[in-house]
């Protein structure tokens, strides 16, 4: 941001000054706050621009995000994905379940740019409708894992003691579960065709990671003097945790959760590919990829489109996570 | 001395050293504070000096109840506060507040200045009615020399000295009687330190505050303190008025400490007599027997290893300018050095 | 002249604009001489030293102009390879934080010996013997037994001695010490400063001591350069500056030291706060805080002008300052 010439330097201008405790010789203070900030310990820690009033760390992060092209591109992609997940009919007029076997594995045709799959369903329509399952699973699983993980991890980190020891061991056990094997065992006994068993399984596997990050950042935040200061004032645990620790510990959790969202979407596709994730008639990229894989020599287009959509979606969320990390990482501040 | 507002008696803080993961076994203790006693009068400033690891910050934390003492008593107006909890503790906390060393970590970066200074009122709603709080916060900002319009700004928009003023305003919000200041200026730039010292001095007379002022800068402590206690390895080795300590030190550690302070006067370079101590401070996990200072002391004898010297007025100086408690077996024999050791 | 810094400019690019950290600094050090660079955080004292050593972070930093002559050769136009030979061997630096400046996974002996292995091509065994010798020289007790110890096994003062040993290893002709004792306790600080002064005398090195402590300066320096907002505002031999400062900033710093006869009174305090390097005030950077400031100070930048045989001041009204 260019620094405009700052009128507050003019000591003849009264009223802008900051009243400093009377010094030996007295006299009015003619320094305004803004230019008075020193180059603090590091040169990276820069003061605010003169025109701004209040600048919270969140609004700082937002300002930085807005200027990051990675953030703009990824959030536009995600916005598009979310919109078509909610209203797929906006760009796909067909029905993903209405198939015509006579058109099995045919290539692109007018009105059906991506061609047909083995069942004769329109690949374009199915690819568009597939976003809904991926986004739903990704968002719900992330919300669940983040909520469960940050609450458990946060409490464990804040209170410590045996609860913390117990939680850490439990988390270790969950870390030990092999994802694919666990999925095959756990989900093969489920018969529901909704997304919820998959969401539940991903939450079960995902929360320990978030809990670990949350616990660590709560322990770091808890050691800050301002938490001690609140305690010296007589603040209770609830206030210390909610007002002082949580807001300062949440950034790493947000970053990890955003990146995890992308990987959860990929995980859902993996499970669906293996036949234990989502099941027909739910439309999912994973199922379509699985069906197309065996036909890759005859009809590569069947694989290309859902796989491409999946990759772009995962990429978009991981890019978003990266951008958020850049904005929130205190080390770069 | 005026009415004693705070009295510390035989205060001890040991941090246990444990071994084993599941079945923790105590294998020793870090003796951070090992029997400290002093009193603080109303309106008085007690300076506590010592090097890092001497336990001065631990004492400060126990005074404001951030650490529980292993043993000993802290009496506030005659009542022992170390065992208090719940409502009674909250009431006492109102009266003893703390100013922290590091203005960068002692303010919550996610809260506005108004919220930080107003938080004491959220915790103790009886002090200020809700509608009155904003005005009070602005008054406090004014008192510590900040523009009351900055109420909605965030800490990172301020410089170190200004942040320390915000920390002081927070400490003042509940109108405490005692303020414990742990190195309140050592993180600040030289040109800003004097401003903050002046502010603390002004607030003391304005609000009739008593200070426990902890610092390692001896000249600043001398400037602001009425009495000074010198700590070494968890104990007070010497305590007295500022003149007694600075002009008539009787403990060899105090003498060495005073002579080691660089004097901002190049003329003094040539004729200044300096006592340069050898070695380092021993570990508080394994302090020497007897006198804690004996491993670095040039006066040490067998007696110092066998017998812990008590903090008492040496008989040789039962009256006169040097009559003050000193924890050295040979305090009476030590000729106080010339008074020009510290300007 | 051993080292001569001429009209050095250093900038930092930050998110909020360009911070002018150093704005035309001139200073020089001769062999066997101690120059103290005095200033607060953000005054540019450390950045100048980093530029001299060639350890400035580029980017965000950038040397925007000037010359750094070391034994007559300009370091800034030298090839990186040549420069690397100078750095470490002929000039060395001591940092404030000894613990983070030492590698925690290598023994101190290995770190000291490395200097000889890399620069002198010594064998590991000879290098180790040299390391013990160095540790003896900086008075680390029982050097032979402790040469295999790791940095965390030493106390703060001992670690700083190891840093000094490392700086001395190749017998440089210039040592830059950046707040070498700030992290240390008073009694240990006295030991370390004594050692540093003694070694400087013995080896006839030039020493640049960067500090904010007026007491330390008075104890060891021959001459002082006072920095403010990236410029030198006053330069003088140590005795003269303490007796009669010729710049209101120096005067303010000296006056704000608590004195015995002022006990119970208000301390003199320089009003206001150090400047923001993103927006250094026009004219004299010190003018918003200066008790003597006039209209001229707000528009014209005062040059660092000769005010005595060996002294210079960047104040238009230095005569007034000297006199009163």
B182 and B293 in a single domain? The answer is no
Whether residue B117 lies inside any domain: the answer is yes
* The pLDDT of residue A277: 81
Whether residue C158 lies inside any domain: the answer is no
Query: At how many degrees (to 10) do helices C108-120 and C80-89 cross?
Result: 130
Could you read off the pLDDT of C141-196 as tens digits, one per residue? 888 888 888 888 888 888 888 888 888 888 888 999 988 887 778 888 888 888 88
Could you read off the pLDDT of B224-247 as tens digits, one per residue? 999 999 999 999 999 999 888 888
B221 and B259 in a single domain? The answer is no
* B-C Cβ pairs (cutoff 8 Å, strict): 122
**Tokens read off for B144:** 């510590």
Residues of C in contact with B220 (CB under 8 A): 258
Q: Say if A15 is an interface residue toward chain B (CB within 8 Å).
A: no
Residues of A in contact with B152 (CB under 8 A): 53-54
Residue C42: pLDDT over 50: yes
* The pLDDT of residue A329: 67
B92 and B143 in a single domain? The answer is yes
Report d(CA B172, CA B143) in Å as an integer. 10
Residues of C in contact with A40 (CB under 8 A): 41-42
Contact C109, C98 (CB under 8 A): no
B75 and B187 in a single domain? The answer is yes
State the burial class of residue A170 (Cβ atoms within 10 Å of its Cβ: 0-12, 13-18, 19+). Answer: middle
Q: Say if A14 is an interface residue toward chain B (CB within 8 Å).
A: no
Contact B151, B141 (CB under 8 A): yes
C33: which DSSP letter? -
Residues of B in contact with A242 (CB under 8 A): none
DSSP annotation string for B201-236: HHHHHHHT-EEEEEES-HHHHHHH-SEEEEEETTEE
Whether residue B288 lies inside any domain: the answer is yes
Residue A233 pLDDT class (50, 70, 90 cuts) = confident
Residues of A in contact with C279 (CB under 8 A): 3, 6, 34-35, 50
Residue A53 pLDDT class (50, 70, 90 cuts) = low
- Average pLDDT value for chain A: 78
Find all residues with CB under 8 Å of B317, minimum gap 6, and list them. B248, B250, B323, B324, B331, B332
Q: Chains that contact C by 3+ CB pairs under 8 Å?
A: A, B
Residue B24: pLDDT over 80: no
B331 and B202 in a single domain? The answer is no
Question: pLDDT above 70 covers what percent of chain B?
Answer: 95
Nearest CA in chain B to C243: B265
- Minimal Cα–Cα distance from A172 to chain B, Å? 16
- Select from A19, A225, A234 the Cβ nearest to the Cβ of B123: A234
Q: Which domain holds residue C311?
A: 3-100+182-323
B141 and B109 in a single domain? The answer is yes
What value, to the nearest 5°, has the Cα angle with vertex B222 and ends B218 and B228?
A: 90
- Select from C40, C266, C278 the Cβ nearest to the Cβ of A47: C278
- Select from B162, B262, B280 the Cβ nearest to the Cβ of C157: B280
The domain that contains C206 carries what CATH number? Answer: 3.40.50.300
B200 and B285 in a single domain? The answer is no
* The pLDDT of residue A12: 34
- Select from C194, C242, C266 the Cβ nearest to the Cβ of B266: C242
Whether residue C47 lies inside any domain: the answer is yes
Q: Which whole number is the average pLDDT over B248-270?
A: 84
- Select from C14, C267, C281 the Cβ nearest to the Cβ of A46: C14
Residue A9 pLDDT class (50, 70, 90 cuts) = very low
C-alpha to C-alpha distances, B41 to A33, A170, B44, B322, C309, nearest whole angstrom: 38, 54, 5, 21, 54
Whether residue C177 lies inside any domain: the answer is no
Sign of CA dihedral B267, C254, C250, B193: positive
Nearest CA in chain B to C250: B191
- Minimal Cα–Cα distance from A16 to chain C, Å? 13
B184 and B256 in a single domain? The answer is no
Query: Model pTM?
Result: 0.81
Tally the domains of chain B: 2
Whether residue C165 lies inside any domain: the answer is no
Q: Which whole number is the average pLDDT over C285-306?
A: 89
Q: Using the beta-carbon criterion (under 8 Å), do A225 and B97 form an inter-chain contact?
A: no
Residue A18: pLDDT over 50: no
Q: Using the beta-carbon criterion (under 8 Å), do B89 and A228 form an inter-chain contact?
A: no
Whether residue C160 lies inside any domain: the answer is no
B1 and B97 in a single domain? The answer is yes
Token pair 């003329």 is at which residue?
Answer: B267
Could you give phi then psi for residue A318, rounded to 5 degrees?
-70, -35
Whether residue C172 lies inside any domain: the answer is no
The continuous run of DSSP H or E covering A261 comes out as: helix A246-273
B155 and B272 in a single domain? The answer is no
Q: Using the beta-carbon criterion (under 8 Å), do C218 and B261 form an inter-chain contact?
A: no
Computed over its alpha carbons, how large is the radius of gyration of chain B? Answer: 21
State the burial class of residue B340 (Cβ atoms within 10 Å of its Cβ: 0-12, 13-18, 19+). Answer: middle
**Domain coordinates in residue numbering, chain A:** 1-37, 64-332
Residue B7 pLDDT class (50, 70, 90 cuts) = very high
Q: Say if A64 is an interface residue toward chain B (CB within 8 Å).
A: no
Report d(CA B142, CA C159) in Å as an integer. 45
Whether residue B236 lies inside any domain: the answer is no
- Select from A36, A38, A233 the Cβ nearest to the Cβ of B123: A233
Q: Quick count: other Cβ atoms within 10 Å of Cβ A113?
A: 12
B280 and B212 in a single domain? The answer is no
Q: Using the beta-carbon criterion (under 8 Å), do A35 and C276 form an inter-chain contact?
A: yes
Q: Using the beta-carbon criterion (under 8 Å), do A9 and C267 form an inter-chain contact?
A: no
Q: Using the beta-carbon criterion (under 8 Å), do A29 and C271 form an inter-chain contact?
A: yes
- Minimal Cα–Cα distance from C162 to chain B, Å? 15
Q: Which whole number is the average pLDDT over B33-54?
A: 90
Nearest CA in chain B to C222: B266
Q: Using the beta-carbon criterion (under 8 Å), do B159 and A18 form an inter-chain contact?
A: no
* The pLDDT of residue B150: 87
Nearest CA in chain A to C283: A9
Report d(CA B50, CA B57) in Å as an integer. 10
Specify the range with the lowest mean pLDDT, choosing from A50-59, A169-178, B165-174, C193-202. Answer: A50-59
* The pLDDT of residue C120: 81
Computed over its alpha carbons, how large is the radius of gyration of chain A? Answer: 27
Could you read off the pLDDT of B276-301 as tens digits, one per residue? 787 778 888 888 888 989 988 888 88
Helix (H, G, I), strand (E, B) or coil at C105: coil
Q: Which domain holds residue B94?
A: 1-225
Last residue in a domain, options B176, B193, B225: B225
Report d(CA A65, CA A258) in Å as an integer. 14
B99 and B64 in a single domain? The answer is yes
User: In B, residues 156-215, which contact C (CB 8 Å cutoff)?
Assistant: 159, 161-162, 189-195, 197-198, 201-202
What's the CATH fold of domain A64-332?
MetI-like fold (1.10.3720)
Could you read off the pLDDT of A64-102 as tens digits, one per residue? 888 888 999 999 999 999 998 898 888 877 777 777 777
């Amino acid at each position: 941001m260019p620094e405009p010439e700052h009128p507050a330097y003019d000591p003849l201008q009264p009223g802008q000054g900051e009243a400093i405790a009377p010094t030996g010789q007295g006299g009015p203070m003619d320094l305004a706050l803004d230019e008075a900030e020193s180059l603090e310990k590091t040169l990276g820690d820069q003061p605010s621009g003169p025109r701004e009033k209040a600048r919270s760390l969140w609004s700082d992060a937002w300002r930085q995000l807005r200027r990051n092209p990675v953030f703009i591109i990824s959030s536009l992609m995600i916005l598009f994905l979310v919109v078509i997940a909610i209203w797929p009919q906006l760009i796909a007029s067909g029905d993903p379940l209405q198939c015509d076997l006579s058109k099995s594995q045919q290539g692109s045709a007018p009105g059906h740019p991506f061609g047909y799959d083995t069942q004769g369903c329109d690949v374009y329509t199915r690819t568009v409708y597939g976003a809904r399952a991926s986004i739903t699973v990704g968002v719900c699983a992330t919300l669940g894992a983040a909520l469960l993980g940050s609450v458990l991890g946060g409490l464990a980190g804040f209170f410590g003691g045996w609860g913390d020891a117990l939680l850490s061991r439990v988390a270790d056990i969950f870390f030990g579960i092999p994802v694919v094997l666990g999925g095959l065992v756990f989900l093969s006994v489920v018969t529901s065709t909704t997304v919820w068993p998959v969401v539940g399984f991903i939450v079960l596997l995902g929360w320990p990671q978030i809990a670990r990050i949350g616990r660590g950042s709560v322990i770091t935040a808890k050691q800050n003097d301002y938490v001690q200061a609140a305690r010296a004032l007589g603040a209770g645990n609830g206030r210390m945790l909610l007002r002082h620790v949580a807001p300062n510990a949440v950034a790493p959790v947000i970053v990890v959760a955003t990146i995890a969202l992308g990987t959860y979407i990929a995980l859902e596709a993996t499970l669906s590919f293996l036949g234990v994730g989502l099941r027909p008639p739910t439309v999912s990229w994973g199922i379509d990829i699985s069906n197309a894989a065996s036909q890759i020599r005859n009809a590569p287009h069947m694989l290309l489109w859902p796989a491409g959509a999946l990759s772009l979606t995962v990429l978009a969320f991981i890019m978003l996570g990266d951008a958020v990390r850049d904005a929130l990482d205190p080390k770069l501040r | 001395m005026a009415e004693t507002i705070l009295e510390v008696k035989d205060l001890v803080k040991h941090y246990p050293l444990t071994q084993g993961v599941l079945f923790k076994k105590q294998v020793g203790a870090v003796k951070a504070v090992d029997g400290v006693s002093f009193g603080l009068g109303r309106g008085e400033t007690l300076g506590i000096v010592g090097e890092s690891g001497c336990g001065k910050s631990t004492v400060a934390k126990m005074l404001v109840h951030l650490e529980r003492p292993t043993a000993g008593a802290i009496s506030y107006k005659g009542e022992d506060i170390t065992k208090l909890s719940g409502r009674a503790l909250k009431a006492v906390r109102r009266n003893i507040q703390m100013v922290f060393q590091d203005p960068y970590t002692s303010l919550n970066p996610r809260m506005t200045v108004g919220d930080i200074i107003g938080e004491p009122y959220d915790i103790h709603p009886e002090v200020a009615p809700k509608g009155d709080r904003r005005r009070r916060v602005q008054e406090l900002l004014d008192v510590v020399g900040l523009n009351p319009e900055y109420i909605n700004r965030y800490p990172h928009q301020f410089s170190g000295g200004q942040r320390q003023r915000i920390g002081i305003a927070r400490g003042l919000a509940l109108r405490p009687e005692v303020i414990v200041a742990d190195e309140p200026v050592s993180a600040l730039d030289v040109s800003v330190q004097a401003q903050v010292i002046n502010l603390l001095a002004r607030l003391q007379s304005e609000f009739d505050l008593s200070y426990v002022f902890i610092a390692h800068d001896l000249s600043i402590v001398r400037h602001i303190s009425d009495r000074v206690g010198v700590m070494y390895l968890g104990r007070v080795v010497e305590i007295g008025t500022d003149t007694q300590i600075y002009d008539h030190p009787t403990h060899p550690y105090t003498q060495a400490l005073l002579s080691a302070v660089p004097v901002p006067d190049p003329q003094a370079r040539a004729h200044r007599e300096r006592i340069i101590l050898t070695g380092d401070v021993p570990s508080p996990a394994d302090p020497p027997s007897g006198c804690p200072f004996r491993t670095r002391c040039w006066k040490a004898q067998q007696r110092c290893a066998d017998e812990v010297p008590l903090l008492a007025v040496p008989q040789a100086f039962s009256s006169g300018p040097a009559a003050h408690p000193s924890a050295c077996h040979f305090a009476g024999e030590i000729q106080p050095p010339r008074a020009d050791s510290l300007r | 002249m051993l080292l001569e810094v001429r009209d050095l400019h250093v900038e930092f690019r930050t998110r909020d604009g360009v911070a002018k950290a150093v704005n035309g600094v001139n200073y020089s050090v001769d062999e066997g001489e101690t120059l103290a660079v005095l200033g607060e955080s953000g005054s540019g004292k450390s950045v100048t030293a980093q530029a001299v050593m060639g350890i400035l972070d580029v980017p965000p930093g950038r040397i925007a102009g000037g010359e750094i002559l070391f034994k007559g050769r300009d370091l800034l136009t030298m090839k990186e390879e040549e420069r690397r030979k100078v750095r470490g061997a002929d000039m060395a630096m001591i940092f404030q934080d000894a613990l983070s400046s030492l590698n925690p996974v290598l023994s101190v002996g290995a770190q000291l010996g490395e200097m000889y292995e890399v620069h002198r091509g010594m064998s590991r065994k000879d290098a180790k013997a040299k390391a013990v010798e160095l540790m003896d020289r900086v008075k680390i007790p029982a050097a032979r037994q402790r040469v295999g110890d790791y940095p965390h096994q030493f106390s703060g003062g001992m670690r700083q001695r190891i840093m000094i040993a490392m700086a001395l290893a190749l017998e440089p002709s210039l040592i830059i010490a950046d707040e070498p004792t700030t992290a240390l306790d008073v009694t240990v600080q006295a030991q370390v400063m004594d050692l540093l002064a003694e070694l400087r005398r013995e080896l006839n090195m030039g020493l640049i001591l960067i500090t904010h402590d007026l007491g330390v300066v008075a104890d060891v320096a021959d001459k002082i350069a006072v920095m403010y907002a990236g410029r030198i505002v006053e330069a003088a031999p140590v005795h003269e500056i303490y007796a009669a400062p010729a710049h209101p900033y120096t005067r303010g710093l000296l006056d704000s030291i608590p004195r015995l006869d002022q006990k119970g009174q208000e301390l003199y305090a320089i009003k206001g706060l150090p400047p923001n390097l993103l927006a250094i005030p026009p004219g004299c950077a010190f003018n918003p805080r200066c008790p003597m400031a006039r209209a001229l100070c707000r528009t014209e930048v005062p040059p660092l002008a000769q005010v005595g045989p060996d002294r210079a001041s960047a104040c238009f009204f230095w005569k007034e300052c000297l006199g009163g």
